[in-house]
Amino acid sequence: MSTSQRRLVTQCMKRVFAERISLSTPLPCRNFSQQTRVDANESGDKPIRNPVLDEYKARMAKKVLSPAQQARVKRKAQAMPESGALDKSSIFEDDRIAQEKLNDARKEQEDEMKNLADPAILAAVLDPVPAERARFMAKKVVETVRRRGRVNRELVIKRTEREHLVRSHNMKTSVKKLGMLARQIAGKRIDDAIVQMRFSKKAVAREVLKQLEYARDQAIVMRGMGLGLNATSPVSKEGSSAEESSEEALLAEVGKEELEEIKPEFNPVDIQLKSGSRYKVSSPTDIYIDQAWVGRGPYGKLPDYRARGRVYLMRTPFTSLSVVLKEEKTRIREWSEREEKRKKARTGARVWQHLPDRPLTNHRAWYNW
């Protein structure tokens, strides 16, 4: 080894194994080391390089990694922390599995709803035969032109009066037992019918009560029945207070006289039903049960265990209840039509008379024969 190489190695060793100055180092030695460093920095010499480190860096830069090593390095760089799992014997494992299944089912349901909202899928159900629909619409337009825009009596009634049909589920009772309750509630106000079923001793009356409440709520929401200003149908306290506050605000805005002109008034009407009984209508928007009938459903099977190990099969009946809800406006119209028909029958041209209805002629105070 030449002298220059030996000197270079010595400098590198001094650079690597530099003396450490601690608090326990004597003060003269500490000052000498610091002075040596200052002199080296002020000398302006080039920085001393480490040939061993430079050689290692050059070798690593020229080294080509194999595909397996590159994949390993990439995998280590992109590795994501995995969530821990519970032990199979854990008491919370069943809940976790159930939650995962619920999330998967909910996601599938959302995907199905997105598919159902597709216009092409909806058109297959709502408009399966476009040609038939166009033909039907053209037919109705021709009928309207032929009648010059006039509508028949049935269409006028459907446009001006509301009705709602509700069919219940199959109740576990017979046609005979449910038919008596159907005849009991037919013709009554919906609230009166609910009260009757509430205090009825029949076992199936509870099911009928729930069905009547459901039918009433559905008629109010879907058909807008029983929403008059003078409606007697039960409402919540919040709804009544809101209605009173709205009336007070309207009264303060337009005045009492104008409010009376705007607010429709209805005087109670005494009518006569088809049965001949008198009936008082307090509001034309009150809901009543116009029709109620029962329908026979499928029979069930129930084992009847007898002696000596014998088993008979009993046929248990199931029956459904259907109700048609209408407003009191319909009763008033039917009563007025019956009254008008009765008056025409009394004073009409077809009434047979004993003598012609004309003034007497050739009237004398004595007999003419």
The 10s digit of each residue's pLDDT in 353-363 is 777 778 888 77
173 in the same domain as 207: yes
Neighbours of 3 (CB within 10 A): 7
> Taking the model in full, what pTM does it have?
0.54
Asked whether residue 309 is domain-assigned, the answer is yes
* Same domain assignment for residues 189 and 285: yes
Quick one: pLDDT at residue 263?
56
Domain boundary among 150, 180, 214: 150
Does residue 138 belong to any structural domain of this protein? yes
- The 3-state DSSP class for residue 165 equals strand
More confident residue, 210 or 245: 210
Query: Is pLDDT above 80 for 349?
Result: no
Q: Assess whether 133 and 112 both reside in one domain.
A: yes
For the residues 185-190, what does the mean pLDDT come to? 96
Lowest mean pLDDT segment, chosen from 85-99, 231-245, 259-273: 231-245
Residues 220, 281 within the same domain: yes
| Sequence-distant (≥ 6) Cβ neighbours of residue 128 within 8 angstroms | none
For 286-310, what is each residue's pLDDT tens digit?
Answer: 999 999 999 999 999 999 999 999 9
CA distance 211 to 173: 15
How buried is residue 246: exposed, middle or buried, by Cβ count under 10 Å (0-12/13-18/19+)?
exposed
Query: Is the pLDDT reported for residue 18 higher than 70?
Result: no
| pLDDT confidence band for 184 (50 / 70 / 90) | very high
Whether residues 190 and 128 share a domain: the answer is: no
Q: Looking at residue 359, what is its pLDDT?
A: 83
Q: Is the pLDDT of residue 320 over 60?
A: yes
Asked if the structure places residue 354 within a domain, the reply is no
Report pLDDT for 236.
41
* Alpha helix segments (H runs only) across the chain: 3-16, 27-42, 51-62, 67-78, 93-116, 119-126, 130-146, 153-160, 175-185, 190-198, 205-218, 237-254, 256-262, 328-347
Number of structural domains in the chain: 2
Q: Does residue 40 fall inside a structural domain?
A: no
Position 254 scores a pLDDT of 53
> Cα–Cα distance between 123 and 206 in angstroms, integer?
42
What type of residue is 255?
Answer: G
Classify 219 as helix, strand or coil: helix
Average pLDDT, the chain: 80
**Residue 244 scores a pLDDT above 70:** no
Residues in Cβ contact with 331 at an 8 Å cutoff, skipping those fewer than 6 apart: 271, 273, 279, 281, 288
**Do 114 and 205 belong together in one domain?**
no
The arithmetic mean of pLDDT across residues 138-165, rounded, is 90
The secondary structure of residue 123, as a DSSP letter, is H
CATH code for the domain in which residue 196 is found: 3.90.470.10
Q: Supply the DSSP symbol for 171.
A: B
What the block records as the tokens of 323 is 């109700």
In sequence order, what are the beta bridge partners of 270?
280
Q: Are 171 and 202 contacting, i.e. CB atoms less than 8 angstroms apart? A: no
**Domain identity same for 291 and 333:** yes
If you write DSSP's letter for every residue of 61-117 in order, what string do you get? HHPPPPHHHHHHHHHHHHPPPPPP---TT-TTHHHHHHHHHHHHHHHHHHHHHHHHT
Task: Give the range with max mean pLDDT: 3-17, 55-69, 238-252.
Answer: 55-69
pLDDT at 160 over 80: yes
Residue count of the chain: 369
Question: What is the average pLDDT across 194-206?
Answer: 97
Rounded CA-CA distance 312/305 in Å is 6
CA–CA separation, 367 and 363 (whole Å) = 9
Tell me, yes or no, whether 133 and 191 share the same domain. Answer: no
Q: Are residues 211 and 316 in the same domain?
A: yes
Task: Indicate if 175 and 140 belong to the same structural domain.
Answer: no
Q: Residue 186 in contact with residue 292, Cβ under 8 Å?
A: yes
Q: What is the pLDDT of residue 314?
A: 96
More confident residue, 84 or 186: 186
| CA distance between the termini of the chain | 184
Residue 221 has pLDDT above 80, yes or no: yes
- Tell me the pLDDT band of 71, cut-offs 50, 70 and 90: confident
The residues that bridge with 289 in the sheet, in sequence order, are 325
Give exposure, 341-359, as e/b (b: 16+ Cβ within 10 Å): eeeeeeeeeeeeeeeeeee
What residue has token string 């008033």?
A: 332
Q: Which domain holds residue 213?
A: 162-227+266-347
User: ∠298-301-303 over CA atoms, to 5°?
Assistant: 165
Q: Is residue 89 domain-resident? A: no
Residues 145 and 175 in one domain: no
Q: Does residue 270 fall inside a structural domain?
A: yes
